[in-house]
Amino acid sequence: MLGIEPLLEEAGITARLRSEVDLILEQRGQDYLDKTIASLPERQKVVLALRYYESLLSAEIAMVLGVREAQVEELLEKATHALCAKLARNAGRRDASTASGEGSQE
């Protein structure tokens, strides 16, 4: 799953939703994940980038951001849930437009 599965698991994302996210990312790829992360609020984007791209531990992220480790954990969980929701919502919109025949040449 492009390396984010541990992050999803840490955030308590259900196995069912992790499977959906996995399928979405398999279909749409790394660029789609990157763009979705970039669309998150700044603080969420930063904490995900530090964890996901830089592989920093929560204690290290706390030092970088100047906050308590517990705040990092809360922010990571919130950011991960927001990311999954956006991925699923965006995929649903595309799937719905495809299913409704939008863009078809009939």
pLDDT band at 1 (very low <50, low <70, confident <90, very high): very low
> How do the domains of the chain map onto residue ranges?
5-97
Q: What is the pLDDT, as a whole number, of residue 89?
A: 82
Element (H, E) at 85: helix 69-99
Element (H, E) at 36: helix 30-38
Question: Tokens 């699923």 identify what position?
Answer: 88
Q: What is the pLDDT, as a whole number, of residue 64?
A: 95
DSSP annotation of 52 reads I
Q: Identify the residue with better confidence: 50 or 5.
A: 50
DSSP annotation of 56 reads -
Helix (H, G, I), strand (E, B) or coil at 51: helix
CB atoms within 10 A of CB 33: 20
Question: Tokens 């954990």 identify what position?
Answer: 73
pLDDT in tens, 48-101: 989 988 989 999 999 999 999 999 999 999 998 999 888 878 766 554 333 334
Calpha distance 101→81 (Å, rounded)? 30
pLDDT in tens, 9-53: 777 777 787 788 888 888 888 888 888 889 999 999 999 989 988
Contact 89, 22 (CB under 8 A): no
Q: Which two three-digit tokens encode residue 55?
A: 């592989």
CATH number among 3.65.10.10, 1.50.10.10, 1.20.140.160, 3.40.50.10490, domain 5-97 = 1.20.140.160
Q: Identify the residue with better confidence: 24 or 4.
A: 24
